Amino acid sequence: MTTDVVAANPATTFRELVERLEGHRIGGMPVIDEDGHVLGVVSETDLLPREAAGTPPGGAADGPGGRGRRLAQARERGGTAAEVMSSPALTVTPGTSAVEAARLLARHRVNRLPVVDAEGVIAGVVSRADLLRVFLKPDEQIRTEVLDEVVARSLWQDPAHVTVEVRNGVVTLRGRLDLASLVPLAEELTRSVQGVTDVRNELTYVRDDVHERINPQALRFPR
């Protein structure tokens, strides 16, 4: 995500909104209050005159300089960010996977999503370009991160006992872990690695710590 966020406040004027979009060459921005809480989102579509926004790709408004002409028209309109923003804003958290963020962008046909913390305060913005860079991560780099960060560092397992294969971002896990409870955890942690698009979990385990029975004698205290 991008942490250097271009944002507006509810009182930002229509003219300022358009100039901010033009100046930073972006198609939208979050609207936040004085404490950084995301109130909504203003996009270029919200600002354009309805007839211009509805011009099909390749139409007159999309010719050379078309975007500039449309924004010039929009600049002459009045109002504030609070009046034109889309609210509530569609947001994600820093823990949202790249795959889920990409699905949200596609499902709602937007180009960027504000990233907010547990309190709803802006932490950054994730765009289609950001996600594209994630999905272009080389398979070998993903494999190394899964082995080093997931298997060895997080699960405390010997990487020699686990085989990690990566093809076009799809990770296949094979091998044997010490405990049954680590198998689903290994999959969950692998899915959180940037660049991973799917996980095929074929791991086995040595001891079933999930279903084994506790010996009642072990729970007795000495007198």
Output the pLDDT for position 72: 54
Number of neighbouring beta carbons within 10 Å of residue 152: 14
Question: Apex CA 197: angle with CA 194 and CA 198, to 5°?
Answer: 120
**Nearest CA among 191, 202, 93 for reference residue 142:** 191
Q: Which amino acid is at 31?
A: V
Stretch(es) of the chain classified as CATH 3.30.1340.30? 139-207
Q: For the chain of 223 residues, list the mean pLDDT of each consecutive stretch of 10.
A: 90 89 90 94 75 41 48 59 87 87 86 91 90 84 96 96 94 96 96 88 94 60 55
A 10 A CB-CB count for 25 gives: 7
Distance CA 196, CA 81 (A): 37
Exposed/middle/buried for 66, CB within 10 Å: 0-12, 13-18, 19+?
Answer: middle
Residues of the chain with CATH 3.10.580.10: 14-135
pLDDT of residue 78: 61
State residue 87 phi and psi, 5-degree precision. Answer: -145, 145
Q: How many residues does the chain have?
A: 223
Is-contact 198 168, C-beta < 8 A? no
Is-above-0.95 flag for pTM? Answer: no
Give the CA-trace dihedral at 121, 38, 9, 4, to 10 degrees: 60
Judge contact between 186 and 212, C-beta under 8 A: no
Q: Does CATH number 3.40.50.880 belong to domain 139-207? A: no
DSSP string of 140-172, one letter each residue: HHHHHHIIIIIIIIIT---GGGEEEEEETTEEE
Question: What is the second-level CATH architecture of the domain 14-135?
Answer: Roll (3.10)
DSSP category for residue 24: H
In this prediction, residue 51 carries a pLDDT of 38
